[in-house]
Amino acid sequence: MKFLPSISAGVVLTASAAFALDEPPLPAWRDKERAELESKGWIPGAILLTADPIPDEPAKPAVAALEVEQPKPEEIAEDHKLSSEIAEKYLPAYFAERPKNFLVDPQGLLSPSDYRDRLSFLNYHASDSSIDLFVYVIGGDQEIPSEVREEELIERFFSEGRPAAIVYYYLGAPQRSVVYLSPSITDAVSAAEQRRALESSVMQAFEKNKPAEQIEKFLVQMSIRIYWMERMLAGESAASDTLPLTGPVTASSSRAAAKSAKFLWLQALAVRSAIPAAVLLGAFLTAFGFSHWLRMRARYRFPEFDVEPRLGGAHAAGVGAVISFASAALPPASQRDQVPDYLRRA
Amino acid sequence: MDADARFGAEEVRIRCLTDSAGILRRGDRQRVEAGMEEITRRFPQIFVAIYTGSLGEVANMRQFGFWLLNRSAFEDVPLQKPNEAGILITIDPESKAAGMVFGYLLDPFLEESDTFECLSRAHAYWLEGRYADGILRTLKHLDGILRKRSRQARRDPEHFERKVVLPAQMGDLVRRIRSGHRPGVEEKPTEVVR
Q: What is the pLDDT of residues A238-271, one digit of tens each?
A: 444 444 443 344 445 555 666 666 677 788 888 8
Residue A61 vs residue B48, higher pLDDT: B48
How many Cβ pairs within 8 Å bridge chains A and B? 155
A2 three-class SS:
coil
Mean pLDDT of all residues in B131-159: 92
Residues 6+ apart with CB under 8 A from A150: A144, A168, A178, A180
Quick one: which H or E segment has residue B65? helix B61-71
pLDDT at B64 over 70: yes
Return the number of other C-beta atoms located less than 10 Å from residue A37's C-beta: 14
CA distance linking residue A118 with residue B82, whole number of Å = 92
- Whether the CB-CB separation of A132 and A234 falls below 8 Å is answered with no
| pLDDT per residue as tens digits for the range B12-24 | 888 999 998 999 9
A33 three-class SS:
helix
By C-alpha distance, the chain B residue nearest A329 is B127
Taking CB atoms and an 8 Å limit, are B149 and A302 in contact across chains? yes
| pLDDT per residue as tens digits for the range A99-129 | 988 999 999 999 999 999 999 999 999 988 8
Domain boundary assignment for chain B: 2-155
Task: Assess: ipTM above 0.90.
Answer: no
pLDDT level of residue A43 (50, 70, 90 thresholds): low
Chain B closest CA to A291's CA: distance in Å?
15
Closest partner residue to A307 among B101, B104, B151, by Cβ?
Answer: B104
Q: Does A16 touch chain B (CB under 8 A)?
A: no
Taking CB atoms and an 8 Å limit, are A314 and B165 in contact across chains? no
Chain B closest CA to A323's CA: distance in Å?
5
Taking CB atoms and an 8 Å limit, are B167 and A345 in contact across chains? yes
Measured between beta carbons, which residues in chain A are less than 8 angstroms from residue B164?
305-308
pLDDT of residue B47: 93
**Strand pairing report for A142-143 and B97-102:** unpaired
Residue A57 vs residue A163, higher pLDDT: A163
**Strand pairing report for B47-52 and B17-19:** parallel
pLDDT of residue B149: 92
pLDDT at B141 over 90: yes
CA distance linking residue B100 with residue A260, whole number of Å = 63
By C-alpha distance, the chain A residue nearest B127 is A325
| pLDDT per residue as tens digits for the range A62-106 | 666 777 777 776 666 555 555 688 888 888 888 888 898 899 999
pLDDT of residue A10: 53
The pTM score is 0.45
Taking CB atoms and an 8 Å limit, are A312 and B66 in contact across chains? no
CA distance linking residue B103 with residue B62, whole number of Å = 13
pLDDT of residue B165: 67
Residue A197 vs residue B189, higher pLDDT: A197
**CATH classification for the domain delimited by A84-267, as one of 3.30.460.80, 3.90.1150.10, 1.10.1740.10, 3.10.310.50:** 3.10.310.50
Q: What is the CATH number of domain B2-155?
A: 3.10.310.50
Measured between beta carbons, which residues in chain B are less than 8 angstroms from residue A332?
116, 119-120, 123
- Whether the CB-CB separation of B64 and B90 falls below 8 Å is answered with yes
Closest partner residue to B123 among A301, A323, A344, by Cβ?
Answer: A323
pLDDT at B132 over 50: yes
Measured between beta carbons, which residues in chain B are less than 8 angstroms from residue A305?
107-108, 160-161, 164-165, 194
CA angle (A238, A239, A244) in 5-degree steps: 130
Q: Does A341 touch chain B (CB under 8 A)?
A: no
Chain A residues 285-304 within an 8 A CB cutoff of chain B: 298-304
Chain B closest CA to A290's CA: distance in Å?
17
* Strand ranges, E, within B11-162: 12-14, 17-19, 47-52, 72-74, 86-92, 97-102
CA distance linking residue A221 with residue A203, whole number of Å = 9
Least confident among A168-182, A273-287, A301-315, B47-61: A301-315
Least confident among A23-27, A135-139, B95-99, B105-109: A23-27
- Whether the CB-CB separation of B100 and A319 falls below 8 Å is answered with no
Domain boundary assignment for chain A: 84-267
Residue A175: which of A191, A199, A144, A193 has the closest Cα? Answer: A199
pLDDT at B188 over 80: no
**Largest distance between two CA atoms of chain A:** 162
- Cα torsion A39, A42, A47, A50 to 10°: value is -20
Taking CB atoms and an 8 Å limit, are B70 and A301 in contact across chains? no
pLDDT of residue B184: 43
**Residue type for A29, please?**
W
Closest partner residue to B62 among A313, A320, A326, by Cβ?
Answer: A320
Closest partner residue to B42 among A299, A319, A320, by Cβ?
Answer: A299
Distances (CA, A) of B45 to A193, A302, A316: 73, 8, 15
